[in-house]
Amino acid sequence: IVDDEPSIVETLRILLKTEGFATHTAVGGRAGLEMLDAVAPDLVVSDVRMPGVDGLQLLAAARAQDPTLPVVLMTAQATLQSAIQA
């Protein structure tokens, strides 16, 4: 789980843990990139808009590491342009 808002990260961690998932969390895109290198995740859930390293850059890094890795991008400010980019 990667988001620049700690409260969102914690909320998603609790929800997924309640459903039986083991989670790793990172606050911010740069920390998310580091987590990708340290952990071989089964799924990445990330915010699109984050300062520094954004969700699209995280998506590109995840795809470079494992082209079959599922990545879920979420945002409260979606546009058609950002959806097409993703």
Is a pLDDT exceeding 70 seen at residue 83?
A: no
> What is the mean predicted confidence (pLDDT) over 7-28?
96
- Note the pLDDT tens digit of each residue in 28-75: 999 999 999 899 899 999 999 899 999 999 999 999 999 999 999 998
Is a pLDDT exceeding 80 seen at residue 13?
A: yes
Taking a C-beta distance cutoff of 8 angstroms, is the pair 77, 71 a contact? Answer: no
> What is the mean predicted confidence (pLDDT) over 16-35?
96
Burial class (CB within 10 angstroms; exposed 0-12, middle 13-18, buried 19+) of 76 = exposed
The predicted model scores a pTM of 0.89
Is a pLDDT exceeding 80 seen at residue 85?
A: no
